[in-house]
A and B are shown apart, each in its own frame.
Chain A
């Protein structure tokens, strides 16, 4: 026996993942892509913010110029004010809804659940113009108020309009996070406190509220930054004294070399990173999921008759508010002339005709762009998820970090970064300037939606037990065969959900798109809506396009929900009783 013995082998000759080279190659390709289309463009934007535009030296002069200009100081304060107030109003809307669903048995719970996503299926800028027609100085509501009470309420005046539209759109982030937190508090937490003598408000203040706080703050930070970064809504409401619109206007108006656009971009990125960090801290450090085996949420009680009436009142009022942009958009899309009257003069299908005959390129472009972006996203998402969760590739976590970093990059900033980076780059095959090439819109959309698709793919892969792969390998399947026959089929639900979400949200993206659209024949839906809404005569057609966008997003959201549910049911299917 001893003559057959060989010297012990050094460790690592047969590595854990023998097809490392294939994995490494894909990892490298993804890293290069993310560097080229996310990290470098953003780094360059930040770098230019600190550059003296004439001498090319590093300087803080641009920031000094920024803060010594009245317009920019005002924009800065406005952006901050609008974001903060949007959080306040979003909280006012979300708090009672979250409280009612989690603490009481209430028949309207289904409505509240729908309220959690109805606003999200319509981008705020789409409904913005319709909202001015409903709530503006000469909008339906104020005309009625004026007629009967002789007062007008400035819902939509200047910054108010932005706050109004944004908080109606973004409150679901707070609602979802807060309800999840409240639901995650185990009944035993509350009962233990009651057992020790706490009740009523004291119980709420000392136990329930602190336990739900992290969820609330995470949602609030998200709302703040979404509003802070948003370009479309202020633009459509004609509010230019905010940061994102200023960045857009400087770069498109003054030029690609104007440092102010970059300074604003830096501020937007810095705030985004900060807000995401805050929200991450709250969710990570204090993720109080206290639900224990057999438990399940706070004790629910029935409402008295009077309380029920109040609850219904609150919910119906909020429902009306939430649906008002959709309602306004419908009126606008089907109405003939709507000006200085509570309702349009008459109704017509003419706007849809205009859209389909004259502007169908918007629809096709959208399907092409959002579809391609979503395909890129699920391919990258699946690959990154596999590399991060299943391979031993050195630095694999950085792929995740890089892809997720896109969350902190406002669309305006990415757009400016692309314009700067690919300015003057000539593409082969007569495709022209790279910065004006429509393919760049697809890349921007893909990069912006990648974090969401990646999360979906990661979650899907985490559902696949490692032993399912090992079983395949021990039965003779190679790595690639295992991925093809076992891993990807088991991830299908998550991948499809990721695709649909990416597609639906990319279809109505405006902020990066608006900077990158070279000519109107290359423009997608969102840009078309923006163009139409510029002139009062185009509003009908713009609204018709908006309706189409809402339909696309709604179908997408519905599909992804169905896919996720079906997938969950398949996995949870109870084993039969006999054996």
Chain B
């Protein structure tokens, strides 16, 4: 299958007076598994639906390969979309559901049947072809929805929160299946989710959206290690953001601590400290002095909330059986691995 990239240029979209997407620009490479990640209301679903041709008409360009599809009705876009609710038609059998798109393309029946079989085979549901959707489990319904979309051999595949209706165990399994299927087909895929773990584990690259604006695009690790702004830093994982300034190769916090930097960035006024990069030591030691105000036992680690002159700092310490850890109210000092900590301007 020919791999096709997607390019979105200066896309604006509003519902009445409310701006939902404001100047979206991005390029998705051929064969890439790309995630749109953001909180609810960030515009990620709206952007996906705009690519599929649903919702109010946007301003701007949406190119699939060299073809601008922004003006085309949904049925002429050849963009495969898997809906959050699966949207299986309850009055049609599994086979009829999957055959639908091929029939709409006026393919002769002798060509439709093998394609339907192949698509169902791919998702491992050929044996359920004559069932009605209501007779399938949630995971099976999801696979039928996928087969139905793949059957039309779309240029790109759009997945709208495809795993949100599955229970936790099944979600992890489907996530892996989805990814291996995508790799097998080499289909350029966009995946909308509000679950960062889902985005981190599956996507080649992702775009973080908030308030209808792209906050940052990159690989999951790039985004985690070098967030472009406080929103990205806080949205991906937990972050302690300390205010201060860069001076003499150090970050001087408002609270008066000096944290060494490997790559001082002039003009930066905030530093992002991940909880696992902070260690708890006995009071009076090296580092930021503080008092434990809260303690949460998480199993593999213990999370402490420590009040310091720089505000509350979250600290995760690995837990091994038998270690009591610190109690609430204990005076501690925090050692910070700050050398490669992201700086924000």
Do chains A and B stick together as partners?
Answer: yes
- A474 and B140 CA atoms in complex are apart in Å by 21
**Does the CB pair B136–A576 fall under 8 Å?**
yes
Closest to B55 in A: A16
**Does the CB pair A474–B81 fall under 8 Å?**
yes
**Does the CB pair A475–B152 fall under 8 Å?**
yes
Q: Which of A228-270 contact B (CB under 8 A)?
A: none
**Does the CB pair A575–B136 fall under 8 Å?**
yes
Q: Which of A333-386 contact B (CB under 8 A)?
A: none
**Does the CB pair A577–B137 fall under 8 Å?**
yes
Chosen A-B contacts, 24 in total, with CB atoms closer than 8 Å, are: A5-B9, A9-B70, A9-B71, A10-B59, A13-B57, A14-B73, A16-B55, A465-B85, A465-B87, A470-B87, A471-B83, A471-B87, A471-B145, A473-B53, A473-B74, A474-B52, A474-B75, A477-B104, A478-B73, A481-B75, A490-B89, A573-B135, A576-B136, A579-B140
**Does the CB pair A12–B152 fall under 8 Å?**
no
Say whether, besides A5-B9, A18-B73, A575-B138, A475 and B149 are in contact (CB < 8 Å). yes
B73 to chain A, nearest CB (A): 5
In the complex, chain B residues whose CB is within 8 Å of the CB of A15 = 57
**Does the CB pair A14–B74 fall under 8 Å?**
no
The interface bits of chain B over 117-160 (1 if a CB of A lies within 8 angstroms of the residue's CB, else 0) are 00000000000000010111111110001001100100000000
A23 to chain B, nearest CB (A): 14
Return the 3 tightest CB-CB contacts between A and B, nearest first. A475-B101, A573-B134, A579-B137
In the complex, chain B residues whose CB is within 8 Å of the CB of A489 = 91
B180 to chain A, nearest CB (A): 18
* Partner among B85, B105, B135, B145 whose Cβ is within 8 Å of the Cβ of A476: B105
Task: Check A485 for interface membership: any CB of B closer than 8 A.
Answer: yes
**Does the CB pair B59–A9 fall under 8 Å?**
yes
In the complex, chain A residues whose CB is within 8 Å of the CB of B76 = 476
- A9 and B135 CA atoms in complex are apart in Å by 47
Task: Check A54 for interface membership: any CB of B closer than 8 A.
Answer: no
Task: Check B56 for interface membership: any CB of A closer than 8 A.
Answer: yes
In the complex, chain A residues whose CB is within 8 Å of the CB of B286 = none
- A18 and B73 CA atoms in complex are apart in Å by 7
In the complex, chain A residues whose CB is within 8 Å of the CB of B149 = 474-475
In the complex, chain A residues whose CB is within 8 Å of the CB of B104 = 472, 475-477, 481
The interface bits of chain B over 43-80 (1 if a CB of A lies within 8 angstroms of the residue's CB, else 0) are 00000000011111101110000000011111111111
Closest to A8 in B: B59
Task: Check B284 for interface membership: any CB of A closer than 8 A.
Answer: no
In the complex, chain B residues whose CB is within 8 Å of the CB of A474 = 52-54, 74-75, 77, 79-81, 149
Task: Check A196 for interface membership: any CB of B closer than 8 A.
Answer: no
In the complex, chain B residues whose CB is within 8 Å of the CB of A465 = 85, 87
Task: Check A571 for interface membership: any CB of B closer than 8 A.
Answer: yes
Task: Check B10 for interface membership: any CB of A closer than 8 A.
Answer: yes
Q: Which of B57, B80, B85, B148 has the most CB of A within 10 A?
A: B57
Say whether, besides A465-B87, A576-B137, A470 and B57 are in contact (CB < 8 Å). no
Q: Which of B292-342 contact A (CB under 8 A)?
A: none
**Does the CB pair A476–B137 fall under 8 Å?**
no
Closest to B12 in A: A8
Task: Check B100 for interface membership: any CB of A closer than 8 A.
Answer: yes
Say whether, besides A8-B10, A8-B59, A12-B57, A478 and B134 are in contact (CB < 8 Å). no
- A535 and B286 CA atoms in complex are apart in Å by 112
Task: Check B41 for interface membership: any CB of A closer than 8 A.
Answer: no
Q: Which of B78-103 contact A (CB under 8 A)?
A: 78-81, 83-85, 87, 89-91, 100-101
B332 to chain A, nearest CB (A): 45
- A84 and B128 CA atoms in complex are apart in Å by 61
A317 to chain B, nearest CB (A): 45
B167 to chain A, nearest CB (A): 11
**Does the CB pair B57–A475 fall under 8 Å?**
no
In the complex, chain B residues whose CB is within 8 Å of the CB of A470 = 52, 54, 74, 81, 83, 87
In the complex, chain A residues whose CB is within 8 Å of the CB of B101 = 475-477
Task: Check A578 for interface membership: any CB of B closer than 8 A.
Answer: yes
B282 to chain A, nearest CB (A): 50
- A13 and B141 CA atoms in complex are apart in Å by 37
In the complex, chain A residues whose CB is within 8 Å of the CB of B79 = 474
**Does the CB pair A579–B139 fall under 8 Å?**
yes
A46 to chain B, nearest CB (A): 38
Say whether, besides A474-B79, A475-B148, A490-B90, A16 and B135 are in contact (CB < 8 Å). no
Closest to A468 in B: B87
The interface bits of chain A over 530-573 (1 if a CB of B lies within 8 angstroms of the residue's CB, else 0) are 00000000000000000000000000000000000000001101
A-B contacts counted at CB < 8 A amount to: 120
Known: A13-B71, A470-B54; 12 extra A-B contacts, CB below 8 A, are A8-B12, A8-B59, A8-B60, A11-B57, A468-B87, A474-B54, A474-B74, A474-B81, A475-B149, A486-B89, A575-B136, A575-B138
* Partner among B89, B137, B141, B152 whose Cβ is within 8 Å of the Cβ of A468: B89
Closest to A17 in B: B73
A488 to chain B, nearest CB (A): 10
In the complex, chain B residues whose CB is within 8 Å of the CB of A486 = 89
* Partner among A467, A477, A575 whose Cβ is within 8 Å of the Cβ of B135: A575
- A12 and B70 CA atoms in complex are apart in Å by 12
- A573 and B134 CA atoms in complex are apart in Å by 6
Say whether, besides A8-B59, A12-B57, A476-B75, A467 and B83 are in contact (CB < 8 Å). yes
Q: Which of A485-544 contact B (CB under 8 A)?
A: 485-486, 489-490, 492
Task: Check A574 for interface membership: any CB of B closer than 8 A.
Answer: yes
Closest to B73 in A: A18
In the complex, chain A residues whose CB is within 8 Å of the CB of B105 = 476
B179 to chain A, nearest CB (A): 19
- A493 and B55 CA atoms in complex are apart in Å by 29
In the complex, chain A residues whose CB is within 8 Å of the CB of B54 = 470, 473-474
Task: Check A6 for interface membership: any CB of B closer than 8 A.
Answer: yes
**Does the CB pair B56–A16 fall under 8 Å?**
yes
The interface bits of chain B over 161-172 (1 if a CB of A lies within 8 angstroms of the residue's CB, else 0) are 000000000100
In the complex, chain A residues whose CB is within 8 Å of the CB of B136 = 575-576, 579
**Does the CB pair A6–B61 fall under 8 Å?**
yes
**Does the CB pair B100–A16 fall under 8 Å?**
no
**Does the CB pair A490–B138 fall under 8 Å?**
no
In the complex, chain B residues whose CB is within 8 Å of the CB of A10 = 59
A575 to chain B, nearest CB (A): 5
B10 to chain A, nearest CB (A): 7
* Partner among A5, A14, A16, A575 whose Cβ is within 8 Å of the Cβ of B71: A14
Closest to B91 in A: A489
A292 to chain B, nearest CB (A): 23
B89 to chain A, nearest CB (A): 6
Q: Which of A443-483 contact B (CB under 8 A)?
A: 465, 467-468, 470-478, 481
In the complex, chain B residues whose CB is within 8 Å of the CB of A492 = 91
* Partner among A472, A570, A573, A575 whose Cβ is within 8 Å of the Cβ of B141: A575
- A576 and B140 CA atoms in complex are apart in Å by 9
- A16 and B16 CA atoms in complex are apart in Å by 13
* Partner among A16, A478, A575 whose Cβ is within 8 Å of the Cβ of B57: A16
* Partner among A14, A18, A573 whose Cβ is within 8 Å of the Cβ of B70: A14
- A543 and B74 CA atoms in complex are apart in Å by 59
**Does the CB pair A575–B85 fall under 8 Å?**
no
In the complex, chain A residues whose CB is within 8 Å of the CB of B77 = 474
Q: Which of B1-50 contact A (CB under 8 A)?
A: 9-10, 12
**Does the CB pair B90–A570 fall under 8 Å?**
yes
A474 to chain B, nearest CB (A): 4
**Does the CB pair B134–A575 fall under 8 Å?**
yes
Closest to A574 in B: B134
**Does the CB pair A578–B85 fall under 8 Å?**
no
Closest to B143 in A: A579
**Does the CB pair A477–B100 fall under 8 Å?**
yes
- A575 and B136 CA atoms in complex are apart in Å by 5
In the complex, chain A residues whose CB is within 8 Å of the CB of B170 = 579
**Does the CB pair B91–A490 fall under 8 Å?**
yes
A282 to chain B, nearest CB (A): 32
**Does the CB pair A579–B53 fall under 8 Å?**
no
Say whether, besides A470-B83, A490-B90, A570-B134, A477 and B75 are in contact (CB < 8 Å). yes
**Does the CB pair A473–B75 fall under 8 Å?**
yes
In the complex, chain B residues whose CB is within 8 Å of the CB of A8 = 10, 12, 59-60
